[in-house]
Amino acid sequence: MAGMHALHKILTKCARPPQKSVSLGEFLEIEPDVFGVIVGVNGTEAKRLAADLEELGIKDLPLRERIFAVSDHASPAPTVAIAAAQKLWREFLKSHRIRTFDGGAGVSHLVLCEEGLVRPGMLAIAIDSHAPTMGAIGMYAASLGGGRLTLYAIGRYVIEVPKVTLVRVTGKLQPGVLGRDASLYVNGRLGQRGAYNNAVEFAGPFIDALSMDMRFTFANMGTEMGAVTSYIQPDDITLDWVNKHGNCEYTVYETDPDFKYDSVHEVDVSKIGPQIAVPHAPDDVKPVDEVAGRRVDQAYIGSCASGRLDDIAEAARVLQGRKVHPDVRLIVTAGSREVLKAATALGYIQTLHEANAIVTSANCGACPGLHGGILGPGDVAVTSITRNFEGRMGPGGEIYLASPATVAASAIEGRIANPLQYR
């Protein structure tokens, strides 16, 4: 029998009934360890879900203790309509005694990790396309592709056993080049279909040396490569972080030595400079110098891609003793309350305020284009959010994806700028 990947071993554990092995392409009925829910912005969905459960005669949700809801999109509510929708969702969640993290807690998949609700070796299904971010701690985390009622009603979901794409990243970054630059470069090399419908594993000496903050950034990017989940094998760095964020037991699964990857990609990042993805594709990546000088109306730092402590620290370093250009709005939105509290304690937030940045509560912010920095027609934004599809932050906007250092440097100059001059 061919060897199994660690992700496949997680699936065997969660399969119902549990299995000793799985086959690529096989459809499994699984019972997830965690079901992550977003406090929605559509009240009709909440009403329909409640009505469907009532029609089925289901009063007690079988996964109730494994369901966790987070209010991260449009939170706090920017409109009356969204406020009304969120009220309906809160009432639904409260009626079923589902633990809810309300406004200010942060982005759902970061909150679940920081609260210790997901651990290595677990399987989580979450209602967010960037759920694979949680794979940074060595778990199977997938976005809900439908079947919400099934999960609520019977606690089951169906998953196709994925092939696995291995991305080995090597080299050491040059001074001033950041982990987000490397992730953009990898995305540019592999493209939006580089791991389409596969799981993607990030490995290699470069990944091994990354902080957990940057590992979350890489795992987050799996979504932009078309992957169903991302994975980084846990090591001492992972387990040290995990053990500081909870005391529940967990299992670290290992990939068998004879496992056959669907494809293997080697990417050397030792010679790259600061990178930028130009409109309107996250994989249309170029060196920053190729687009330097482009006018900027808004600079935005945040999201589950680059809203962690390392990111805010880099922005504060560039902005120290400097001011945001008077024609630019610089908005900083931490990915979680934990990040915001740490950044405040370390003085980074004060530095941002002194530079005339706008600092918000922790949430998804402008990334999904709902509030907290929506672009107007013709606005040009340089940002560290997840993706730069047309209309992502508002209709008619132009989005450039870059590292927090590049965003901060551009905010100072009022145009896209190489941050190396601010080292």
| Helices vs. strands in the chain: H and E counts, helices first | 14, 18
CATH topology of domain 7-160: Aconitase; domain 3 (3.30.499)
The H or E element containing residue 46 is helix 43-55
Q: Specify the pLDDT at position 1.
A: 59
State the DSSP code for 376.
P
Torsion angle of C-alpha atoms 113, 115, 118, 119, degrees rounded to 10: 80
* Interatomic CA distance for residues 326 and 335, integer angstroms: 26
pLDDT tens digits for 184-218? Answer: 999 999 999 999 999 999 999 999 999 999 999 99
* Interatomic CA distance for residues 410 and 295, integer angstroms: 9
Quickly list H helices, 56-147.
80-95, 108-114
Three-state secondary structure along 142-195? EECCCCHHHHHHHCCEEEECCCEEEEEEECCCCCCCCHHHHHHHHHHHHCCCCC
* Interatomic CA distance for residues 309 and 290, integer angstroms: 28
Comparing CA positions, the residue from 280, 226, 231, 227 lying closest to residue 389 is: 280
CB 414: neighbour CB atoms within 10 A?
16
What does the block give as tokens for 117?
């609700």
CB 117: neighbour CB atoms within 10 A?
21
pLDDT tens digits for 311-330? Answer: 999 999 999 999 999 999 99
Residue type, 14: C
Q: What are phi and psi of 312, to 5 degrees?
A: -65, -35
**Using N-to-C axis directions, what is the helix angle for 212-221 and 179-190, rounded to 10°?**
20
Q: Tell me which residue has tokens 């169906």.
A: 158
User: Which residue numbers in the chain have pLDDT < 50?
Assistant: none
Which residues are registered as beta bridge partners of 34? 124
CB 313: neighbour CB atoms within 10 A?
18
* Interatomic CA distance for residues 137 and 386, integer angstroms: 19
Q: What are phi and psi of 215, to 5 degrees?
A: -65, -40
DSSP string over 291-303? TTT-B-SEEEEEH
What CATH homologous superfamily does 276-422 map to? Aconitase, domain 3 (3.30.499.10)
Q: Specify the pLDDT at position 147.
A: 81
CATH architecture for residues 164-268: 2-Layer Sandwich (3.30)
Question: Is 315:405 a contact under the CB 8 Å cutoff?
Answer: yes
DSSP string over 253-292? ----TT---SEEEEEE-TT---EEEPTT-TT-EEEGGGTT
* Interatomic CA distance for residues 327 and 311, integer angstroms: 23
Domain with CATH 3.30.499.10 in the chain: 7-160, 164-268, 276-422
Question: Is 183:190 a contact under the CB 8 Å cutoff?
Answer: no
Q: Enter the pTM of the model.
A: 0.96
- CA 201, 205, 206, 212 torsion: positive or negative? positive
When computed from its CA atoms, the radius of gyration of the chain, rounded to whole angstroms, is 21
- CA neighbours closer than 13 Å in the CB half-sphere of residue 21: 9
